[in-house]
Amino acid sequence: MKRISILFVCMGNICRSPLAEGILRHLVAEAGLTGQFTVDSAGTGGWHEGEPPDRRSIATAQRHGIDISAQRARRIRPGDFRGFDLVLAMDRDNVAALAEIAPPEANIRLFGDAALRTGEDIPDPYYGGPDGFELVYTRLLTGCSSLLETLGVERASCSGNTSSVR
């Protein structure tokens, strides 16, 4: 299998994209394919650069056996468009922001199109409560699992508690 590089992007890189990065890294590790993937996340804005993910994202991930506490927010860089096979934005606003700065050959897709095949935006849970983070986790888990299956990684080979929302 060819090494695949995926970059998840949201606005500040503290809620949705760090969760997506953590989920996909976890699923890839469970499948024994860590060496076959490069997974990262970034934000279209740099307000939180260097900060850990939002405490609610960390707590949500932790409830599902995933540790994202060591991640640090960063702003997308021009080299990311060349360095990643696939750039998955969490919503249409981020797709538009990326399209303004990306070279024409960049592979930018909406997560809801590429991973969920529903065309939906992943809602930003920042201004809500814990239920919003659980909803985002569920959508990201479903999409990341589907994405791996599309790339030829069988979900059935994965174990652990990420397949359910508690």
Instruction: Assess whether 16 carries a catalytic annotation.
Output: yes
Which residue among 40, 54, 91, 124 is the active-site one?
A: 124
Instruction: Assess whether 40 carries a catalytic annotation.
Output: no
- Rounded-to-integer distance, Cα 108 and Cα 94, Å: 10
Which residue among 10, 15, 144, 158 is the active-site one?
A: 10
Sheet with 37-43: list strands edge to edge.
Answer: 37-43, 4-10, 86-89, 108-110
- Rounded-to-integer distance, Cα 16 and Cα 7, Å: 12
Which residue among 16, 25, 56, 139 is the active-site one?
A: 16
Instruction: Assess whether 92 carries a catalytic annotation.
Output: no
- Rounded-to-integer distance, Cα 84 and Cα 108, Å: 10
| Catalytic machinery residues | 10, 16, 124
